[in-house]
């Protein structure tokens, strides 16, 4: 077990509840949807009271370096089209929407409960420019077996990825066993279905980043998209570097920024504080 997992196990009460079957069953039955407000967002976000409890404490920063990076990218590049791959509750879509004038945003989320909450937030906001794609992003379109994280809603994984994840990963620590079938899509398929190329893409898909990039050959070849992504597999970084993209480490939580060659000059102010991989 790594240090982070050990600290969670000993000191995090919500983590303990999620890992204790009888306690989790009780809290799950009592769970209900609520509106969460944040000073960073213009409008409220729909979350589950128990499952997503950490989101209700706005004073507790969530991935502060990545949040700061996204805000810097919005300020410098002013993206008009944003794709949120592995949207979870949609935090980064709502953040980008608050920081720049978006023309279109697409959220990709395969977990049914998360998708339901996202639809409620979109309806509450009345934002016609924000679209939801209920699918896992992978290297092929069709169907995939998917392990659904009911404990936190944040660590669901494509089954073939879960099988090769380390035992210290959050998904394994939660002991996820619920298997469902979800629709899968590729970034290139979505690109073909839409007129606009994303200016900024955030990706957090629990170790499936290699599959997503394999299904994004056309998108990557355009070299018009900044990619902020969580990465656990060096192969994904190497795939981008092989195309002469520059990849920077953002923080110690496995977040990275990939910049295509034609956008490097404009990004100099941002990359000056990051570590080139």
Beta strands 81-85; 200-203: pairing state: parallel
* Residue 27 domain-assigned (yes or no): no
What's the CA gap between 70 and 99, in Å, rounded? Answer: 9
Q: Is the pLDDT of residue 6 over 70?
A: no
Would residue 17 count as lying in a domain? no
CA dist 28 and 18 (Å) reads: 9
| C-alpha gyration radius of the chain | 18
Identify each DSSP E strand in the chain by its residue range: 33-36, 45-48, 81-85, 104-108, 130-133, 136-137, 142-147, 157-158, 179-185, 200-203, 226-230, 246-249, 255-259, 275-276
β-pairing, 136-137 with 179-185? parallel
22: in domain: no
Range of weakest confidence among 7-21, 98-112, 222-236:
7-21
CATH code of the domain covering residue 247: 3.40.50.150
Residue 145 — pLDDT band, cuts 50, 70, 90? very high
**Predicted pLDDT at 22:** 62
**Looking at the whole model, is its pTM more than 0.75?**
yes
> Does residue 272 lie within any of the structural domains?
yes
Among the ranges 12-21, 23-32, 92-101, 154-163, which has the highest mean pLDDT value? 92-101
How many domains does the chain divide into? Answer: 1
Q: Rounded mean pLDDT of the chain?
A: 90
Domain that holds residue 103: 61-142+185-276
At residue 7, the pLDDT reads 43
Length of the chain: 277
Does residue 250 form part of some domain? yes
- 163 within some domain: no
Dihedrals phi, psi of 85, to nearest 5 degrees: -95, 115
Q: At what angle do helices 91-99 and 64-77 cross, to 10 degrees?
A: 40
> Is residue 23 included in any domain, yes or no?
no
CA distances from 3 to 7, 9, 32, 158, 230 (A): 6, 10, 32, 25, 19
Measured between alpha carbons, how far is 101 from 81 in angstroms, rounded to an integer? 9
Residue 7: inside a domain: no
CB atoms within 10 A of CB 268: 9
Is residue 9's pLDDT more than 50? no
Q: pLDDT tens digit string along 50-66?
A: 899 888 887 677 899 99
Is the pLDDT at 202 greater than 60? The verdict is yes
Cα separation, 43 vs 122, in Å, equals 10
């Amino acid at each position: 077990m790594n240090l982070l997992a050990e600290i969670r196990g000993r000191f995090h009460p919500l983590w303990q509840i999620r890992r204790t079957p009888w306690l989790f069953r009780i809290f799950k039955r009592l769970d209900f949807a609520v509106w969460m407000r944040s000073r960073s967002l213009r409008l409220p976000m729909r979350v589950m009271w128990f499952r997503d409890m950490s989101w209700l404490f706005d004073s507790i920063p969530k991935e502060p370096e990545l949040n700061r990076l996204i805000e810097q990218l919005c300020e410098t590049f002013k993206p008009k089209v944003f794709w949120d791959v592995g949207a979870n509750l949609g935090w980064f879509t709502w953040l980008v929407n608050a920081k720049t004038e978006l023309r279109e945003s697409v959220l990709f989320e395969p977990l049914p409960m998360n998708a339901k909450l996202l639809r409620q937030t979109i309806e509450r906001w009345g934002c016609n420019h924000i679209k939801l794609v209920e699918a896992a992003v992978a290297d092929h379109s069709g169907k995939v077996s998917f392990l659904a994280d009911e404990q936190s809603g944040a660590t669901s994984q494509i089954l073939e990825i879960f099988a090769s994840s380390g035992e210290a990963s959050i998904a394994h620590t939660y002991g996820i066993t619920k298997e469902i079938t979800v629709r899968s899509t590729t970034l290139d398929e979505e690109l073909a279905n839409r007129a606009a190329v994303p200016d900024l893409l955030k990706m957090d898909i629990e170790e499936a980043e290699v599959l997503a990039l394999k299904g994004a050959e056309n998108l990557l070849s355009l070299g018009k998209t900044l990619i902020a992504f969580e990465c656990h597999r060096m192969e994904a970084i190497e795939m981008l570097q092989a195309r002469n993209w520059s990849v920077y480490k953002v923080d110690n939580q496995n977040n990275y920024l990939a910049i295509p060659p034609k956008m490097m000059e404009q990004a100099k102010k941002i990359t000056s504080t990051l570590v080139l991989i």
